A and B are shown apart, each in its own frame.
Chain A
Amino acid sequence: MTTELIDPPARTGSAEAPRPLDTPVVLDVKDLRTHFLMPGGTVRAVDGVSYTLHRGRTLGIVGESGCGKSVTAQSVLGIVPRPGRNVGGTVTLTRRDGTNLELTSLDPRGKVIRSVRGNEIAYIFQEPMSALSPIHTIGHQITEVIRLHTGAKRDEARFRAETVMRQVGLPRPDAVLDRYPHQLSGGMRQRAVIGIALACNPGILIADEPTTALDVTTEAVILDLVRSLQKEGGMAIQFITHNLGVIAEIADEVVVMYMGRQVERAPVSQLFHAPQHPYTQALLRSMPRLGHRAHERLEAIQGMVPDPYDVPPGCAFHTRCRHYVPGTCDSPEYLEVSPRHWVRCSRAGEVA
């Protein structure tokens, strides 16, 4: 017997053309600032971040661990943990009926913002356990959310819950719904949380590292699901992840953050092929690539991550930058170097 009849799986899918970026803005974040006032000083976790989310498009957010990606997301939703405080900026949501709503001025515990959360903006927490109650079954938690947001009856909500759990690739959804979070594997919990977020057809999805606990085949299923829901309903997505392979797969545009600020924003293809900021360049170099020699030393960025209490003056990256020039790098501005490509680097254009 031979196997000539079966072609090996090959990456045949033709590359998709980039989608136009200029769809209507549904979330406009301007100069957002969130600080943590700690006994030892102030952590400027988010320090002047601006970006827009567009209908039917995906904005990827990457950046150093601790640079403020999660706090940015939490600031948008008004759920920054204490002692964090939103100290500036605006977040304008364009609602389904076309009216605008500024979110930072709302009472974070009030009725209005609560109706926005989950309903119009769904948030997938970075750590699934922090979003799940250990004492209720998965099924109880998801049907509650569905009933709260859609007013569905119990049976109907249960049916919808099973459908969603099947969509996120959980085996035997009926059985999984009867289990408690600790009885699921890490990736199953993460999928349950994704299911809860998607159950109510949000207009905006903010997903914080939603696929880190998933194997690549399951991850492919989830990304595909998210993409097809986006195509159907025009969902705008803010996708936070460390995985540059996933960014390449799903993002239309990418924002790169470093120490509470944006250092670069570009259409995805531009970011991978012509990154302008030395931090972005270094990030792309430190990525391990499949098929390359094992045990080769990975190229980490030199130097230590600065203390968030003590952000270096001038360009925050200068202490680790191989292109730093004293006197030149004192106050880089965030400039548009080519259409839709912004960089905060005094030497942008000279370095590659």
Chain B
Amino acid sequence: MAMNAPATGGPNPPGSSEDDLLVARDLKKWFPIRKGFWSRVVGHVKAVDGVSFNVRRGETLGLVGESGCGKTTTSRLVLRAYDPTGGTIHFKDRKLGWIDIPTARRSELRDIRRNVQMIFQDPYGSLNPRMTLREIIGEPLLVNGIASGSALQDRVAELLRLVGLHPEYMSRYPHAFSGGQRQRVGIARALALEPQLVVCDEPVSALDVSIQAQTLNLLEDLQGRLGLTYIFVAHDLSVVQHVSTRVAVMYVGRIVELAPTADLFFAPRHPYTEALLSAVPTPDPDHRGTRIFLAGEVPDASNPPTGCHFHPRCRYAVEACRTTVPPLVELAPGHQVACHRATELSLAGVVPGS
């Protein structure tokens, strides 16, 4: 396939291997907090604070974590919708080879933008209300000179059918659709250019479970057919478990655990992952009221706790947790954890087949 073409860009980034498509190192995004008449900077929201991960070609990397922990910000850094405060993100472009996204030149960015697409969390805000579906989905094809006229029409129809919408909808505006239908429009647009990497931010949370199943099956088919790679942000852990090859768990701007999916769900090594898994609602009304609550104050990204960010809410915390930041270390092949007590704790995961 075309994506195995030899790299022409920069050298392999450190810590990368042959099958990596994206390598992020020590990524940071701090948003300034301004106050008063002079808009003086009085602090920073450390939305992403030293995040490192690799994404392998053809895999789905799940990204989960508490609301506000920096998942969308991380995604936006990959798309260069934001400039990072620090760190690198190397992407292995089909044509250009390894390129550092934050420092890419304008001409390189055009190529990267074609190959890295996003499906947004908020379909309402991300679809232009004044454009018809034909214009919304066709725009990237037109701008990149890939199709026009009746070929464009055909391609848009094909994309609509791909996501389970009627091609006749083409001339309608987004407001005429329900939330879930709009989400599928967003998916069709993201896939229009057959990108290498698709960053999906809550792509199925607005869909009913049947359409959700259809869409997840579709994303998997496309992955097989087009060799797509996904970064998949979602809150529904049963969905994440279903689609992900590996999963990264974030907590207040940092990755606290990263592991192959089965390891993470069945044998978690970080206390926050354990808490997350125990809070999943059981789809059985006869077992309600059995979710576990995560006690303690929700952390504030502009003034996070010292040491391990999770320590004020962690049931296993010891003195070292309050004072020292636990590094992300590899405990077993491919299983990285940032917890002082990871080797001694035995944590509860999901019960298989439950």
Contact = CB atoms under 8 A, between A and B. Distances in A.
Contacts of A224: 293
Contact of B235 (A213, A291, A305): A213
B295 to A, nearest CB: 10
Given A15-B288, A300-B213, A304-B164, A212 B206 contact: yes
B328 interface: no
Interface stretch (B87-95, B109-117, B137-145, B339-347): B339-347
Interface in B228-256: 235-239, 241-244
A295 interface: yes
B288 A187 contact: no
B281 A186 contact: no
Contacts of B285: 18, 247-249, 251, 268-269, 271-272
Q: In this complex, which of A245, A268, A292 has the most chain B Cβ atoms within 10 angstroms of its Cβ?
A: A245
A300 B262 CA distance: 23
Nearest to A191: B67
Interface residues of B, number: 88
B298 A169 contact: yes
B175 interface: yes
Contacts of A135: none
A290 B354 contact: yes
B293 A217 contact: yes
Q: In this complex, which of B68, B123, B210, B352 has the most chain A Cβ atoms within 10 angstroms of its Cβ?
A: B210
A268 to B, nearest CB: 4
Nearest to A10: B348
A248 B217 contact: no
A64 interface: yes
Contact of A186 (B166, B202, B298): B202
B67 A186 contact: yes
A298 B216 CA distance: 8
A30 interface: no
Interface in A231-268: 242-251, 268
Tell me what chain A mostly uses at the interface: helix, strand, loop, or mixed: loop
A4 to B, nearest CB: 10
B217 A297 contact: yes
Nearest to B278: A9
A139 interface: no
A66 B177 contact: yes
Interface stretch (B3-11, B22-30, B178-186, B190-198): B178-186
Contact of A214 (B235, B294, B350): B235
B209 A286 contact: yes
Given A8-B348, A244-B209, A272-B283, A187 B67 contact: yes
A291 B279 contact: no
A246 B281 contact: yes
A294 B261 contact: yes
A249 B288 CA distance: 5
A283 B212 CA distance: 10
A185 interface: yes
A16 interface: yes
Interface in B254-309: 261-262, 265, 274-276, 278-294, 297-303
A66 B178 contact: yes
Contact of B209 (A9, A15, A283): A283
A237 B242 CA distance: 32
A217 B283 contact: no
Nearest to A292: B353
Q: Sort chain A's interface into a size bin.
A: 35 or more
B48 to A, nearest CB: 12
Nearest to A12: B290
A106 interface: no
Contact of A287 (B202, B283, B301): B283
A3 B316 contact: yes
A214 B289 contact: no
A171 B241 contact: no
B152 interface: no
A169 B205 CA distance: 21
B220 interface: yes
A249 B291 contact: yes
A111 interface: no
Q: In this complex, which of A188, A217, A269 has the most chain B Cβ atoms within 10 angstroms of its Cβ?
A: A217
Nearest to B126: A129
B330 interface: no
A196 interface: no
A170 B283 contact: no
B102 interface: no
Contacts of A171: 68, 297-301
Contacts of A297: 217
Nearest to B286: A15
B245 to A, nearest CB: 9
B336 interface: no
Contact of A300 (B123, B217, B286, B351): B217
B168 interface: yes
Nearest to A179: B33
B293 A220 contact: yes
A156 interface: no
Contact of A217 (B205, B276, B301, B302): B276
A171 B178 CA distance: 32
B187 to A, nearest CB: 13
B281 A294 contact: no
3 nearest A-B residue pairs (beta carbon)? A65-B180, A187-B67, A245-B281
Interface of A: 1-3, 6, 8-16, 18, 36, 38, 62-66, 70, 81, 126-127, 129-130, 169-172, 175, 183-188, 190-191, 209, 212-221, 224, 242-251, 268-269, 271-273, 282-283, 286-292, 294-301, 304-305, 307
Given A63-B208, A212-B206, A291-B354, 5 more contacts: A18-B285, A187-B67, A292-B242, A300-B211, A300-B214
Interface of B: 31, 33, 64-68, 72, 121-125, 164, 166, 168, 175-181, 202, 205-214, 216-217, 220, 235-239, 241-244, 261-262, 265, 274-276, 278-294, 297-303, 315-316, 344-348, 350-354
